[in-house]
Structure 1
Amino acid sequence: MGLFAELRDSVSRVTASLFADDSEPKRIGIYGPPNAGKTTLANRIARDWTGDAVGPESHIPHETRRARRKEDVEIERNGKTVNIDIVDTPGVTTKVDYSEFLDHDMEKDEAVRRSREATEGVAEAMHWLREDVDGVIYVLDATEDPFTQVNTMLIGIIESRELPVLILANKTDLDDANIQRVSNAFPQHETIPLSALEGENMDEVYEKIAKYFG
């Protein structure tokens, strides 16, 4: 009976995939290190196409401690329409230290609580990446060195899952932004410069979203 049950389940999965509704929105995860501007970008996209925000923005690290989803964002560029769900994920890092929050005038108890929540958020972000997203927008702060263990690991996971990925060099409005350094870090992928805060170069970002995720 076990063998027949496995066979039946296998046939069911194949049948479901054959008749899956292609009109279902694709889940696009916004990934990157803490404070790269992921929520700022998610809010920019959501406001431009739906009028609503995804979540609060903050200069405090790990402000996004749970994945937040904005559904049915319809983007149209050059006659092509793509329907996506935006998943704004917590910044991924190898360590969350409560002392980071103390630097922002928090009491120790609050800092410890937030660091614990941020650590759980990292685990949730990794779960989404391994199981539940159909593509990735990878946001990097163009003023920071992109050659990090976390960035290399995440890009490796994205590539192992063969997910379409768009790398964005964010914060080009800052004087010390270095777009070429981001491009050199992952030359196998196209890098698009932008300022999510100022809305600079968002037209190209939308064109690439329609191209990569449509």
Structure 2
Amino acid sequence: MNMIKRFKVSFSKIFNKLFKKKGACIGIYGPPNAGKTTLSNRILRDWVGSEETMGSVSHIAHETRHAKRRNGVTIETNGHTISLDIVDTPGLATKIDFHDFMEQGMSDVESKKRSKEATEGVIEAVKWLDDLDGVILVMDSTENPYTQVNVTVIGNMEARNLPLLIVANKVDLPDADPGVIKEAFPQHPMVPVSALEGVGMDSFYEALAKQFG
């Protein structure tokens, strides 16, 4: 190999190492208790290791109050391989009332602390939008999708020209109706899953690769 060829090969390796785009940073968004952390944990369980989780889950809203990021999640599906950085964000809400936490058995002091942290979490989740390459919007398929949170998130994504994948979660429940979500937002791809039971995850990973790969 002559000097010029050796230089080209060396320069190419250095260029790829320094400037090659790494995995896209994808945020998992949605209202409280839609199953964002459950989905995050399922992704890590499937592709990283059975012992690793993104966070704990609870029937009480706003269990996740700080964004958590897991870098370098490699997903192989349908002949394609993609590498993603996953960000599990706090639940978005238009109103956070400490009395709601008191109704779940928390003390007055604990409820006010939880309410403050949840509010800060919403602000943090919104700020993360500036650093993302795309969004997975998780909706509860047993709930009405025409909520202010869902409409606001989708409008924000469209304004930022960020790719969006809607996940209709909790299809294992008897009153689930993911078709309503599809009808509500037909302009975006949607995949029905049960992140808890692992139902529909193969289709989810295929949609993930297609949307963010």
**Cα distance in 1 between the residues matched to 2:68 and 2:99:** 25
**Cα distance in 2 between the residues matched to 1:22 and 1:39:** 30
What is residue 99 of structure 1 aligned with on the other side? 99
1:157-214 residue CA offsets vs partner (Å, 9 max, x unmatched)? 1011111111011000001111111111111012110000000010000111111111
Task: Give unmatched runs, 5+ long, in structure 2.
Answer: 1-16
Count residues with an aligned counterpart: 195
Task: Read off the aligned partner of 2:35 and give its amino acid letter.
Answer: G
Q: CA deviation at 1:23?
A: 3.8
**Cα distance in 1 between the residues matched to 2:139 and 2:174:** 16
What is residue 71 of structure 1 aligned with on the other side? 71
Percent sequence identity over aligned pairs = 56
What is residue 38 of structure 1 aligned with on the other side? 36
What is residue 25 of structure 1 aligned with on the other side? 23
**Cα distance in 1 between the residues matched to 2:171 and 2:149:** 22
Q: CA deviation at 1:20?
A: 7.2
**Cα distance in 2 between the residues matched to 1:90 and 1:188:** 25
**Cα distance in 2 between the residues matched to 1:21 and 1:57:** 38
**Cα distance in 2 between the residues matched to 1:90 and 1:183:** 24
Normalised by the size of structure 1, how large is the TM-score?
Answer: 0.88
Task: Read off the aligned partner of 1:38 and give its amino acid letter.
Answer: K
Q: CA deviation at 1:22?
A: 3.6
Q: CA deviation at 1:104?
A: 1.7
**Cα distance in 2 between the residues matched to 1:25 and 1:100:** 39
Q: CA deviation at 1:141?
A: 0.1
**Cα distance in 1 between the residues matched to 2:34 and 2:89:** 12
Task: Give unmatched runs, 5+ long, in structure 1.
Answer: 1-18
Q: CA deviation at 1:80?
A: 1.1
What is residue 15 of structure 1 aligned with on the other side? none
In the alignment, does 2:53 pair up with 1:56? no
**Cα distance in 2 between the residues matched to 1:168 and 1:43:** 15
Q: CA deviation at 1:57?
A: 1.1
Q: CA deviation at 1:97?
A: 0.6
What is residue 135 of structure 1 aligned with on the other side? 134
Q: CA deviation at 1:69?
A: 0.8
**Cα distance in 2 between the residues matched to 1:44 and 1:30:** 13
**Cα distance in 1 between the residues matched to 2:44 and 2:59:** 20
Normalised by the size of structure 2, how large is the TM-score?
Answer: 0.89
Distance change >3 Å, CA 203–CA 119, structure 1 → 2? same
Pairwise CA RMSD of aligned residues? Answer: 1.2
